[in-house]
A and B are shown apart, each in its own frame.
Chain A
């Protein structure tokens, strides 16, 4: 790798960050909504316990996951669909920017964005609502959400492979909301019916949240969750690779 490619990857990363921060949907779904919901519900529900932890800490995890998924799945898919429909990808293909640099910069910029969301939520939770956890729990849960959250980029890629950005915007928002509710990020799954709880356990959203809830309740890494998230990731990547290959062949 020469210096030009390093410079190009960094510049590409910077461009992705700028595009994300300037996106209103990102600000609404990944910053304003999680913060607002967190304050609102931690206030309403108060000091009850969920699964052995304070609701406030529990809900801080839920809302952090919610914000991360919004950024990695919904906003990311729209950004991708735009790039494709604007012909931008075609133009990039004739530049010397290698495709690996493009992919690396997408993942790296998403990792930075997600890390910032986690830090923001954790600072707000710790200072604004006095969520009290051991340093190990803060770090472990943060790392879990950070790394696990990146797997939602595969779902974003799948939606982003659709041609029409307007359709992607509507569809990804609906799926994002539905998966968040179903996965118990808005309200704990304990409040759901038995059938809904069973369905919930199969969603990737639940699995991301569950991993974090489990850590702050004193549990260890949820390997079942890792496995399910990994399966989803592989399946989504395979389908989107197939779709894009078919589109290119035309």
Chain B
């Protein structure tokens, strides 16, 4: 597989703060990669450096084998950026047509209107659209040039459920056509369902990298939760072996463990006061929280 994106030893320093710290990452063509991390982890900085909008302080970046600022590279990429709104004074179809004119082989206007679910709004001024509709217009603009590499930075913020569904269906269809997709999102279930690969970033460094199931397996994995009797305390629970995290909400306690089978036996043996017991395999959310928590310590 040819690499679509290659970062080698990339650092970005703002004033004194290291936003990205010696990042090395190769993304193969045709993969869907989700960059996850808490706010300020360096995701957006990384994306904007890959796009050539920001210069790395150190290291090299190759996008489609070339400098991201080359026009021939830009002709083959598309992006939905954060904090980019729509332009004033142009209608939806006019805005899309404008963007189509920039590229050598643009996708058809009707197709772009369809996948962004904006067919009914084509003759509306872009500024009159709702926030979610504006994001969808941004998606249409990102796809205008039929890009080989698509960047989606927090793409579904403000979209309703139906739009979100159509959005991910389109992204999957794009991935099916061999497009490389790099996305950042706060909705971990979205990353879980769409990405082939998840890269977790914290404090400007990669702290985990793998398929969604690998990431989940690598970390705490499973969770036991129950409504605890009054004798149960965090201290008492942490005495038990195999518990990696204790989380309370009211009297319900959530215990993370790598081996929930032994833990449940142990809890019963120790006669811990429990009601309403649930055992779940931890979602990506839990894995993510655990990862970030462990590197922040």
Contacts and interface: CB of A to CB of B under 8 A. Distances in A.
Given A15-B94, A19-B90, A22-B89, A91 B141 contact: yes
B53 A19 contact: no
Given A23-B89, A82-B88, A95-B74, A8 B101 contact: yes
A229 B79 CA distance: 41
A18 B94 contact: yes
By DSSP majority rule, is chain B's interface helix, strand, loop, or mixed? loop
A4 B104 contact: yes
Contacts of B94: 15, 18
By DSSP majority rule, is chain A's interface helix, strand, loop, or mixed? helix
Contact of A4 (B53, B84, B102): B102
B53 A86 contact: no
A9 to B, nearest CB: 9
The bracket for how many chain B residues form the interface is 20 to 34
A11 B53 contact: no
Given A19-B89, A23-B89, A91-B141, A97 B102 contact: yes
Interface of B: 51-53, 71-72, 74-75, 77, 79, 81, 83-90, 94, 97-99, 101-104, 125, 141, 145
B101 A87 contact: no
Contacts of B99: 95
5 contacts: A12-B98, A22-B125, A82-B87, A91-B84, A95-B99
A90 interface: yes
Interface of A: 4, 7-8, 10-12, 15, 18-20, 22-23, 79, 82-83, 86-88, 90-91, 93-98
**Taking each of A22, A82, A87, which has the highest tally of chain B beta carbons within 10 Å of its own beta carbon?**
A87
A94 B79 contact: yes
A79 B88 CA distance: 8
B103 to A, nearest CB: 6
For the complex of A and B, the 6 pairs showing the least CB-CB separation, nearest first, are A19-B89, A11-B101, A87-B84, A86-B85, A96-B74, A96-B75
Contacts of A97: 102
B90 A7 contact: no
Given A83-B87, A86-B86, 5 more contacts: A4-B102, A7-B101, A11-B98, A82-B88, A90-B81
